[in-house]
């Protein structure tokens, strides 16, 4: 009998769940999230899919805890995404991000 490698949950499944949750959030918001997502993606194409989702939720006033619950990721991961977004947009302070996104 061959030794089988240990089974791990594929990351894709958790991302797929996050995508389903995202679709439900957008549906509840009457498509506003997708519109914001597309606008940000057009303006800032260097942002990753998850950075765009986090940015849209920041734009709509959610805090890190709420974002982590909505996207099924840890608060630490949300903070990392916030940092990367600020870095890619050339921002320095946390409070600038929401204001910047609302002006975009």
What CATH number does the domain containing 67 carry? 1.10.10.10
Q: Does residue 10 form part of some domain?
A: no
Q: Does residue 90 form part of some domain?
A: yes
Model confidence pLDDT, tens digit, residues 23-44? 777 666 666 777 888 888 999 9
Q: Which residue, chain included where needed, has tokens 């805890």?
A: 65
Q: Does residue 85 form part of some domain?
A: yes
Q: Provide the whole-model pTM.
A: 0.73
Q: Does residue 2 form part of some domain?
A: no
Q: Does residue 8 form part of some domain?
A: no
Q: Does residue 47 form part of some domain?
A: yes
What pLDDT does residue 51 have?
94
Question: How far apart (Å, rounded) are the C-alpha atoms in residues 28 and 12?
Answer: 24
Q: Does residue 44 form part of some domain?
A: yes
- The total domain count for the chain is 1
Structural domain containing residue 53 = 32-103
Task: Tell me if 54 sits within 8 A of 77, measured CB to CB.
Answer: no
Name the residue among 19, 27, 17, 51 with its Cα closest to residue 37: 51
């Amino acid at each position: 009998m061959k030794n089988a490698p240990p089974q791990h949950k594929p990351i894709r499944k958790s991302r797929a769940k996050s995508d389903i949750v995202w679709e439900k959030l957008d549906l509840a918001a009457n498509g506003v999230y997708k519109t914001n997502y597309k606008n940000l993606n057009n303006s800032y194409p260097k942002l990753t899919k998850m950075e765009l989702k986090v940015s849209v939720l920041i734009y709509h006033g959610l805090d890190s805890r709420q974002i982590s619950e909505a996207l099924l990721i840890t608060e630490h991961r949300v903070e990392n995404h916030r940092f990367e977004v600020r870095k890619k947009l050339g921002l320095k302070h946390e409070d600038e991000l929401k204001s910047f996104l609302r002006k975009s």
